[in-house]
Structure 1
C-alpha cells in the first residue's frame, strides 16, 4: 500500500538515476520516454521538494578512449547486453544531465562507471569518494524513492542494491523509462519480488 510522504520526512531520499543526454531520445543509448522522465522529475521537485530529506542524482561517467573494463566497445559491434557503444564519456554533452532536468535541488552527485562497468548508483561515489551507501547512512536515510533511466538496467540495479543494503525502495512508475518493454516488465517483477514498492 502506498503512503504519501509527509513534508520533511527525514528518512527518505529521492534518487534520480542517470537522467542524462545519452540515455534520452537522440542520445547514444537513448530510450523512448527519456525526455518525459526529465520533465517529470523537474515537476516533481518543483511541487514536492519538501517531501525528501535529500535529493541525490547519479550519472554514468566513463573514461574517454577506454573500454572501461570491457563495458564499452571502441571498435566493432557491442552486444547491447553487457557491452555498449561509447556513451556518457566524462565531460561530454552525452554525459551532461538532460536540459529538461532542473538540477537546482540536487544536493549530492554520484558518479559511476569510472573506468569500469557500473549500473547501480551504489557502485559509484561522490567526487570526494563517499559511496552512496555512506551518504545515506550519514544522513540517516532508510528509504529511497527511485526515478530515472533506464528501468531495466540502472534503475533496476540501483533499486536492488538499495534493498540488499536494508534500504526500503519506492519506484515511481510515471518517472522511469526502459530500453525494451519485455526487459522492463521483467525488471519490475524482479524489483517487486525483492521488496520494492511501485507507485
Structure 2
C-alpha cells in the first residue's frame, strides 16, 4: 500500500508576478520545500506537474486575447519560457517524476499529462501500488481540484493539504474544497516539520 504526493503546477506564471499569479503561490512553493525537506521519505512517489503549453497556437482554445477566465486564459506557461519553470521557492530535487500537461490542448488534471519518458500518472500509481495520495499546489479551484477528483475517480484515497494550496479566488477555492470533501477527499494540514 504505497503513498504518493502530487505537487500541482507550482510554476512562475501561477505564483505572484506571473501571467496568472495567485495570492499565496510563493508561500505554497516555500511550504512544499519545507515539507519535502522533512517528509520526502514518507512518499513512494513524488509527482510534480507543470502546464507546458505550445506557444505556437491557441492550445485548443485555452489561450485567448479576450479570455473569460473560465475556459480561456491569457498566454501562460509556454514550454521553455521562464513562466513555465518551477517557482524558485520550490526545491524540486526530491521529485521522482515530472509530468508535463497541456501540449496543444487544454489540460487541468495531472492525469492528462505524461513524463518525458511517456509515462502516464495512472500507470505510475498502479506500478507502485499507490493507494493514498496527498495533493498540494496551484490552483485550488482549477488544477488541484481536477487532479484530486481524477485521483478519487481512479480509486485512490485522497488528502488535500489545505495549507499547501492557493487558489484563483476565495469563493471558488472554498467551493472546490467543499466539492472535494463531498467526493471523499480528506481536508488536512501538512505534517509538522520533522
CA distance in 2: counterparts of 1:69 and 1:168, whole angstroms: 32
Shift of 1:65: 2.0
2:130 aligned residue: 141
TM superposition outliers: structure 1 runs of 4+ over 3 Å: none
Which of the numbers 131, 153, 158 marks the counterpart of 2:142? 153
1:25-61 per-position Cα deviation (integer Å, ceiling 9, x unaligned): 0000000000000000000000111111111100100
1:102 aligned residue: 91
Shift of 1:130: 1.2
1:115 aligned residue: 104
CA distance in 2: counterparts of 1:165 and 1:110, whole angstroms: 18
1:40 aligned residue: 31
1:189 aligned residue: 178
Compute the TM-score of the two structures, normalised by the length of structure 2.
0.95
1:135-155 per-position Cα deviation (integer Å, ceiling 9, x unaligned): 111111111100000000000
Compute the TM-score of the two structures, normalised by the length of structure 1.
0.93
Point out where structure 2 has 5 or more consecutive residues left out of the alignment.
189-194
- For the residue of structure 2 that corresponds to 1:47, the secondary structure is helix
- For the residue of structure 2 that corresponds to 1:82, the secondary structure is coil
CA RMSD of aligned residues (A): 0.7
CA distance in 2: counterparts of 1:139 and 1:118, whole angstroms: 24
Shift of 1:67: 0.5
1:78-111 per-position Cα deviation (integer Å, ceiling 9, x unaligned): 1111000000000000000000000110110111
- For the residue of structure 1 that corresponds to 2:4, the secondary structure is strand
Query: Is the counterpart of residue 56 in structure 1 residue 47 in structure 2?
Result: yes
Number of positions where the alignment pairs a residue of Structure 1 with one of Structure 2: 188
